[in-house]
Structure 1
Amino acid sequence: MADIFGIALLDYYHGNYSEDIKTHSSLEEEDRIPLPYLFRSFEEMPQLEQKALELARGEVLDIGAGSGSHSLFLQEKGFQVTALDSSKGAIEVCKLRGLQSVSQSSIMDHSGRQYDTLLLLMNGIGLAGKIESLEGFLLHLKSLLKPDGQILMDSSDIIYMFDEDDDGGFWVPGNTNYYGEVTFYLEYKNDKSDPFDWLYVDFETLKTHCEKVNLDCELVISGEHYDYLAKLSVKT
């Protein structure tokens, strides 16, 4: 798969910004990810992300770190933080921006260490791909936690994207197991990624799947547009 994110992040870092990443999904028309947004400061981050960074403690694994903005903030605060991303270009940008600990890997291939805090921001739970994979994904995250560790993640309930009928129900296509399953591909400078699955999870569904793998799931804060921040921890 073309490293769309990595190529775009490197372009922006080196001052070659001429266009944004285009996103195409099974749910909506073409959208864009503005590259400057991926290099935002703490003050420019949404409230959910700011709250997650304020709650971080101990040794931190930033999953899907991208350009490393969250990791950089924590490193500057004195945290021991590792930025993890499967994108070679993203990890190169993290290094260029001064991050001391990075790992180029998918989260499912990352093992052997445990952390006090796992961060999955910008809907990092989407890496699970499908609802049927969510419990296995959560079990793997659980294996990366120290006994009193925590998972901080945000997601969105995208039911609002579907048509509502007069009775308050929603018209959801029958070709998926769960309405939060979306297929994407990315485009940048006429190069396209392969299609990939991404998962948006409403809070109650997340909580149900957490219970099945013996994780507590706490709603920390709700955002302004069907989004939320959750804290997961091992049940004692």
Structure 2
Amino acid sequence: MADVFGTALLDYEKGHYTEDIKTYSSLDEEDVIPIPYLFRRFDEMPIIEQKALQLARGKVLDIGAGAGSHALYLQKKGIEVTALDNSEGCIAVCKKRGVQSTILSDILDYSGEKYDTLLLLMNGIGLAGKLNNLSRFLQHLASLLQSNGQILLDSSDIIYMFEQDEDGGYWIPNDGTYYGEVAFTMEYKGKKSKPFDWIYVDFNTLQNACESNGFNCERVISGEHYDYLAKLTLKE
């Protein structure tokens, strides 16, 4: 499969930035991911990400590390952090930028170590793909967590993307799927990725999934646009 995301990040790192990543979704939306944004400094990050990085402690696994911006910030603070990504290009960029510990793997294929903090920023819970995969995903994360560890993740309630009627209700397709499930394709310099599933989880749905999988779930802060930062800890 073409490493569209990693190729774009590598181009930027090498000084060959000419265009952004285009995304196409099942919500009929065409959008772009501005590549420079993925290389941002701490002071350029949204408040939700800043808060998560301030709460990170102990041995940290940055899941879906991308260009390594979160890992680099923690590393500079003296925190032991490992950047994990399933993109060869992303891991190459992390190394070029100075991230000392990296792992090339899909999170569901990775096991062995245990961490004090698992970071899933920029809607990292989206890696679960679909709502019916969320339990398995959370159980796998639990297997990577120290008993007193924490998961810090952000996501969004994308209900705002659906039409609202006069009494405040939303027109959501009644096809049996959860409205936060989206299929994406990415394109960069004429190369397209295979479609992949991604999920945006509203806080109540996340709380319910946590409850049935042995986690406490706390909303740390809400962002400016239906987004939030959650902290998950294992129930004793």
> Per the shorter chain, which TM-score range?
over 0.9
- Identify if the C-alpha distance between structure 1 residues 140 and 49 changes in structure 2 by more than 3 Å, giving closer, same or farther: same
Q: For 2:70, what is the secondary structure of its paired residue?
A: helix
Q: Distance in 2 between matches of 1:92 and 1:170?
A: 43
Cα distance, 1:176–1:27 mapped onto 2, change above 3 Å:
farther
Q: Could you say which residue in structure 1 is the equivalent of 2:140?
A: 140
Does 2:181 correspond to 1:181?
Answer: yes
TM-score (norm 2): 0.99
- Counterpart-to-counterpart distance in 2, 1:175 and 1:41: 41
Query: For residue 79 of structure 2, what is the aligned residue in structure 1?
Result: 79
Q: Work out the CA distance in 2 between the residues paired with 1:10 and 1:201.
A: 30
State the 1:176 CA deviation: 4.7
Counterpart CA distance in 1 for 2:176 and 2:233 is 29
Paired position in structure 1 for 2:89: 89
Structure 1 match to 2:155: 155
Distance 1:189 1:133 in 2: 32
% identical equivalent positions: 68
Distance in 2 separating the partners of 1:19 and 1:208: 40
Instruction: Specify the code of the residue in structure 2 equivalent to 1:39.
Output: F
TM-score, normalising length: structure 1 = 0.99
1:107 aligns with 2:93: no
Which one-letter code corresponds to 1:191 in the other structure?
K
Q: CA deviation at 1:10?
A: 0.3
Alignment CA distance shift 1:160-1:99 (3 Å): same
2:32 counterpart residue number: 32
Instruction: Tell me, in whole angstroms, the C-alpha distance in 2 between the residues paired with 1:39 and 1:176.
Output: 38
The one-letter code sitting in structure 2 at the alignment partner of 1:75 is Q
Q: Which runs of 5+ in 1 are unaligned?
A: none
Gaps of 5+ in 2: none
The count of residues paired between Structure 1 and Structure 2 equals 236
Partner of 2:65: 65
Cα offset, 1:174, TM superposition: 2.5
Q: CA deviation at 1:115?
A: 0.0
Structure 1 residue ranges, 4+ long, deviating more than 6 angstroms after superposition: none
Provide the C-alpha distance between the structure 1 equivalents of 2:29 and 2:81, rounded to a whole number of angstroms: 36
Return the alpha-carbon distance in structure 1 between the equivalents of residues 209 and 177 of structure 2.
15
- 1:19 is displaced (CA, Å) by 0.1
* One-letter identity of the residue aligned with 2:228: Y
Task: Give the AA of the match of 1:50.
Answer: Q
| 1:225 is aligned to 2:203 | no
User: Which SS does the other structure have where 1:138 is aligned?
Assistant: helix
Cα displacement (A) at 1:175 = 3.1
Give the aligned residue type for 1:129.
G
1:143-191 superposed Cα distances (whole Å, 9 cap, x missing partner): 1000100000000000000001122211111235200000000000000
Counterpart for residue 120 of structure 1: 120
The alignment's C-alpha RMSD in Å is 0.7
Q: Distance in 1 between matches of 2:60 and 2:208?
A: 26
Greater Cα offset, 95-104 or 175-184: 175-184
Letter aligned with residue 202 of structure 2:
D
Partners in 2 of 1:51 and 1:173 — Cα distance?
Answer: 34
2:10 alignment partner in structure 1:
10
State the Cα deviation string for residues 175-211 of structure 1 (Å, max 9, x = none).
Answer: 3520000000000000000000000000000000000
1:76/1:195 CA distance change after superposition, 3 Å: same
Residue type at the aligned position of 1:188 = Y
* Alignment correspondent of 1:200: 200
The answer to whether 1:22 aligns with 2:22 is: yes
